[in-house]
């Protein structure tokens, strides 16, 4: 509270736009939210000298409390709107991802599996027609049918692996990453992975990120060696894939993956897919690279335990390990 001679009071701050020279007395009360957060100050000025009573100050405190509530409500409304917008964006990306996966799987079934099954049917029909008259020809047709059945089975396994790699159910995430490293014979891959068991969708996302990073190291970076690390820090799981390849400028890569046509490059699709996968899990994907200094892909996601500890996440019971015959 200042009754007069504001300029001599060290608490007073002169602001030309408020024309303080036209006023004599003033009182200030803090605007504090119900949670105790200071969001502003309520100032009242008078042109004539006035001694503000306790009732005056108490009334101003009440008004300041109402203002604080309005400010807090506005902030909460803005945050809620931002969160709803983010959820809508995530929902759109999920739908787009599901559509892409559905089209991919439908294409694999139509172009591969279904065509082989049609051919299989014709070979078996031909064998049935000649099985009494020409057993040798029937045996030949049956042999071709067996080959087609084996090929269809392989393609079916590949389609299933595209949704969730069966190796995750068979070996667990740590061993699966080690097996993944051995599938790139041109790279010296070292794996240091903690034995973690998580929800199936989280394990799949971590595995796919490592797989994409290894493919980039082999195809684009001309790397010789790669180090994969998997660890848990409190409630977060951290995956790091570091290579000694050519490296690149991440900003330049981001610009190149979004040309004027709006169609991302293949490399851009891989990186954007990893980022989208991380965001959908509530995590982050960090890309650290520079020309001539290799690349590190760092994925951090919340640790989500499996729904049924100790059990397979999404196996295919009864599926034969090898084609019959």
pLDDT at 273: 74
Structural domains of the chain, with CATH: 6-76 (3.30.450.40), 92-163 (1.20.5), 166-302 (3.30.565.10)
Q: Along the 325 residues of the chain, how does pLDDT read in single tens digits?
A: 666 667 667 676 667 666 666 677 778 888 888 778 888 888 887 777 878 888 888 888 888 889 888 888 888 888 888 888 877 776 677 667 667 777 777 776 776 777 778 888 888 888 888 888 888 988 888 888 888 888 877 777 666 666 677 778 888 899 999 998 888 888 899 999 999 888 888 898 899 899 889 988 888 888 899 999 999 998 999 999 999 988 888 777 666 555 444 433 334 446 777 887 888 888 999 999 888 889 999 999 999 888 765 544 444 333 344 444 3
Predicted confidence (pLDDT) per residue in 209-222, tens digit: 998 899 888 888 88
- pLDDT, residue 173, reads 92
Global pTM value: 0.52
Q: Residue 231: which of 309, 307, 300, 308 has the closest Cα?
A: 300
pLDDT score for 191:
94
CA-CA distances (angstroms) from residue 246 to 46, 242, 312? Answer: 71, 12, 39
Q: What is the pLDDT of residue 301?
A: 93
Tens digit of each residue's pLDDT (9 = 90 or more) over 151-200: 877 777 666 666 677 778 888 899 999 998 888 888 899 999 999 888 88
């Amino acid at each position: 509270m200042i009754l007069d001679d504001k300029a001599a009071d060290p608490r007073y701050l002169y602001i030309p736009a408020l024309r303080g020279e036209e006023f004599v007395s003033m009182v200030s009360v803090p605007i504090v939210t119900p949670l105790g957060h200071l969001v502003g100050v309520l100032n009242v000025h008078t042109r004539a000298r006035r001694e503000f009573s306790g009732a005056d100050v108490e009334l101003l405190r009440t008004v300041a409390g109402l203002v604080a509530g309005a400010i807090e409500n506005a902030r909460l409304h803005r945050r809620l709107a931002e969160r709803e917008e983010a959820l809508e964006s995530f929902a759109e990306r999920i739908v787009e991802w599901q559509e892409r996966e559905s089209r991919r799987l439908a294409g694999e079934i139509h172009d591969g599996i279904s065509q082989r099954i049609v051919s299989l049917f014709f070979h078996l029909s031909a064998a049935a027609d000649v099985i009494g008259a020409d057993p040798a020809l029937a045996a030949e047709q049956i042999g071709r049918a067996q080959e087609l059945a084996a090929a269809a089975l392989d393609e079916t396994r590949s389609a299933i692996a595209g949704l969730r790699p069966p190796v995750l159910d068979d070996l667990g995430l740590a061993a699966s990453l080690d097996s993944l490293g051995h599938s790139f014979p041109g790279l010296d891959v070292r794996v240091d992975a903690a034995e973690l068991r998580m929800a199936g969708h989280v394990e799949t996302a971590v595995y796919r990120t490592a797989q994409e990073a290894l493919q980039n190291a082999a195809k684009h970076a001309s790397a010789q060696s790669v180090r994969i690390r998997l660890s848990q820090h409190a409630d977060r799981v951290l995956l790091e894939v570091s290579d000694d390849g050519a490296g690149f400028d991440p900003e330049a890569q981001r610009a190149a993956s979004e040309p004027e046509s709006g169609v991302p490059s293949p490399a851009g699709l891989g990186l954007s897919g990893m980022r989208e996968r991380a965001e959908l899990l509530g995590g982050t994907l960090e890309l650290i690279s520079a020309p001539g200094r290799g690349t590190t892909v760092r994925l951090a996601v919340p640790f989500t335990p499996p729904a049924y500890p100790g059990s397979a996440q999404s196996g295919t019971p009864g599926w034969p390990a090898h084609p019959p015959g």
